[in-house]
Structure 1
Amino acid sequence: MDNEDYKLICVGTGLKSIFCYLDQDQALFFIQVYVVPLIFLMVLIIGLTLNSLVLWVMIRQTRPWNRSTLFLCNLTIADTMWILTLPFFIHYHFCRLHWVFSNVICKIMRCMYHTCFYNSIYFVTCISLDRYLAIVHPLQSFFLLNMRQSLFVCVGIWVLSAIVSIPSVFMTFVIPCSSNQSVCTLYIFSYGTGKTLPYSVISTVTGFVLPFMAIYYCYWSCTRELKRHNLKSVQKKKKLFRLMYSVLIIFSLMYLPYHLIRNACITIRAMSNNQTRLINSLDASFSMEMAICSLNTCVNPFFYFVTNGNAKNSLRKTLYVCCGETKQQVRLKVAAIHPL
């Protein structure tokens, strides 16, 4: 098959890939080939270690489980599954955007990436709802959302996220650019914007805007409720405020630019069939945002150590068992990781 046949395939799929024959002097090439895989590699090492530690502590040390633990466990599983897609993409980017795996694996990895990405957001929202119920409605909390109902919520999130991510499968292809390069496409960079733009907007509304509004309302209500009551421990009150403000700030910094730039990339493509300088800049910005958002899987494990009252003792026991260190050494490490 010659280059003309490859070009016909690209046009025929409606997914003319911008990654075919990328100019090495472009910022997009540098970000895709060097920055993204390096950050993904760092996230794979650090994120997988931290999330595995949290899962180990929850399974082996946390008794009994409550509603908060269930949501945190699902958040950790979602992040871990997302991280497990990274070796495929690290290899892809380090090989200068050459996908050596099958078309089916490309579709599965993109779908799994999309599903777990939004699952992480949904379970952070559930954790915020749990805090809201515990602070604003403490007496009715366990009647409004008990463990059984929480389990149904978790199952529902996994099922709905998987269903909503199915369209990404049909917008993902392996496109042969040349005899030694095949691109695993991402729908954001597609020129078939008739389908990708509505899908991106719907995903933004359901996966970011609504969860962010819910998180903001929950923490605004919690802040108002805490200010109305004088807690015995001023330090505990400050800790709760820091936690809520941190979640809002991190959530905004991680996900707001990502979704704004993603929709801008697709919208500008819908307005122009040519690869303009503006499109190149937006593509490079979005690629950078993809890498930045991946860092969130390294931040989420700290939710467990901050929100779980027994986390400090659990972490101390786990480090003591795993490392075989003295109790004094473990206490110093725990204090450094969890100073609150």
Structure 2
Amino acid sequence: MDVVLDGIFHQNGTYDYDETYEYKDDPVPEHSSGVWILVLYSAVLLVGLLGNGLLLAVLALKRRSWTISDTFVLYLSVADVPLLVMLPFRAAQATQNCEWCFKEVLCKISGAVFNISFYFGIFLLVCITLDRYLSIIRATQFYSLRKPWLAHICCLLLWLSSLILAIPDWIFMVAWKDPAREKTLCVHKYSQSTTDWLLVSRLLHHILGFLLPAASLIFCCSSIMLQLQCIKSIRVILSLVVLFFLCWLPYNITLVVDTVGRSRSKELNDGLSGNPEGSLKTALMVSSTLGCIHACLRPLLYLGLCANFRKRAVAMLRCATVESESSLWEFGMGEEAPTDPSQELEQMTSVNHQMQSTQW
């Protein structure tokens, strides 16, 4: 039997595989990640709007017995609502394979709202913990029911400071057409003459927006716990601080890594900044998403820890009335300390009964 090998070895020339086979990246992972981000943002938006709406409704019904704590909780909730409203635009960009399909003004608003919400949230937490520190350690209260306007002025100043720190977002965030990807991206765009603005804005963010406020929060909370030897009296405030750090610390750490890398390389991608590549880009996206999740977790924390708020919320949903006029949030801000020891003991006993009932 003859074996014919001519069909195999007859053509011995070179063959260019590039002309017939084109390698393409698998689009499934990118599409899959976009779907998961869309689902996550939708859940955060729904839970956040419902939770903050319930909180604002309870505060509206309690307007006749307004306290300093109510004022600060109101402003914290107001700071979360714009961030929640901007989530659909972020989700749309994720589902469009990281392409911005809206107007440039929405790009600027989205970036500015993200940072304003972060700045105002951490600044207001500093004010709350600092007031408790002065009240417990120094026996001095800056905010009182006799001067409720001080709380509003303080919050307005914090809003103004947050807006000033977000000025780079208003100026340098643009809807930029990437010639390599042929897609429009919502990024910070710096020219060769304004590259120093990147490092300046990052330093302001790291120092004024995170390091100093974080040090103040840690110092105040540690001093209060060492003085009281317990956390029951500040458990709500401490929980708010811990929640804020858990949600925003990864983003700030990732941003520090990106800032250090850019300052060392001294090359800002031909004027384009805020658009890192590779794993750092993924880390920034994931950590910023975690920061957005914080906007929906705060009302859930109130429902879990504040028995009076939970009681009022349930009564409002059942269209019932609650006669209790005690604090909803257990911040202790602007509340006068009882001078009668029996009254103090009675208050401590009632608090213990409430905690035991919630546990059961």
TM range (shorter): 0.7 to 0.9
Structure showing greater radius of gyration is 2
Instruction: Say yes or no: does 1:299 pair with 2:300.
Output: no
Shifted more, 93-102 versus 69-78: the winner is: 93-102
Partner of 2:334: none
> Secondary structure of 1:185's partner?
strand
Question: Is the CA contact 1:115–1:165 (under 8 Å) kept in the aligned structure 2?
Answer: yes
TM-score by length of 1: 0.73
Residue among 191, 197, 203 paired with 1:201: 203
Structure with the higher fraction of residues in helix conformation: 1
C-alpha distance in structure 1 between counterparts of 2:187 and 2:160, whole Å: 25
**Structure 1 residue 119 displacement after superposition:** 1.4
- The code of the aligned residue for 1:129 comes to L
C-alpha distance in structure 2 between counterparts of 1:274 and 1:136, whole Å: 48
C-alpha distance in structure 1 between counterparts of 2:43 and 2:77, whole Å: 18
- 1:262-294 Cα shifts (integer Å, max 9, x gaps): 12123323444598xx95122211111111111
Question: Is the CA contact 1:193–1:270 (under 8 Å) kept in the aligned structure 2?
Answer: no
C-alpha distance in structure 1 between counterparts of 2:105 and 2:286, whole Å: 26
Partner of 1:99: 100
- 1:113-167 Cα shifts (integer Å, max 9, x gaps): 2212221222222332343344335564546994221111001111121122111
Map of 1:1-340 to 2, 5 A cutoff?
29=30, 33-61=34-62, 63-137=64-138, 140-142=141-143, 146-177=147-178, 181-186=183-188, 194-227=196-229, 239-240=232-233, 242-243=235-236, 245-272=238-265, 273=267, 280-302=278-300, 304-305=302-303, 310-321=308-319, 339=358
Give structure 2 stretches of 5+ with no counterpart. 1-23, 270-275, 321-353
C-alpha distance in structure 2 between counterparts of 1:247 and 1:166, whole Å: 27
- 1:59-106 Cα shifts (integer Å, max 9, x gaps): 123541111111110000000111111112211221222222211221
- The code of the aligned residue for 1:257 comes to P
Distance verdict in 2 for CA 1:66–1:134, change over 3 Å: farther
C-alpha distance in structure 2 between counterparts of 1:200 and 1:34, whole Å: 31
Shifted more, 89-98 versus 262-271: the winner is: 262-271
C-alpha distance in structure 2 between counterparts of 1:314 and 1:115, whole Å: 30
C-alpha distance in structure 2 between counterparts of 1:25 and 1:243, whole Å: 45
Question: Is the CA contact 1:258–1:290 (under 8 Å) kept in the aligned structure 2?
Answer: yes
- 1:233-279 Cα shifts (integer Å, max 9, x gaps): xxxx553364455344333322222112112123323444598xx95
> Secondary structure of 2:65's partner?
coil
What number of residue pairs does the alignment pair up?
A: 291
- The code of the aligned residue for 1:253 comes to L
C-alpha distance in structure 1 between counterparts of 2:263 and 2:293, whole Å: 30
* CA RMSD, Structure 1 to Structure 2 (Å): 3.5
C-alpha distance in structure 1 between counterparts of 2:358 and 2:206, whole Å: 35
C-alpha distance in structure 1 between counterparts of 2:312 and 2:113, whole Å: 31
> Secondary structure of 1:100's partner?
coil
Query: How many percent of aligned residue pairs carry the same amino acid?
Result: 24
C-alpha distance in structure 1 between counterparts of 2:316 and 2:38, whole Å: 31
> Secondary structure of 1:183's partner?
strand
- The code of the aligned residue for 1:246 comes to S
- Structure of higher RCO (CA pairs closer than 8 Å, 6+ residues apart): 1
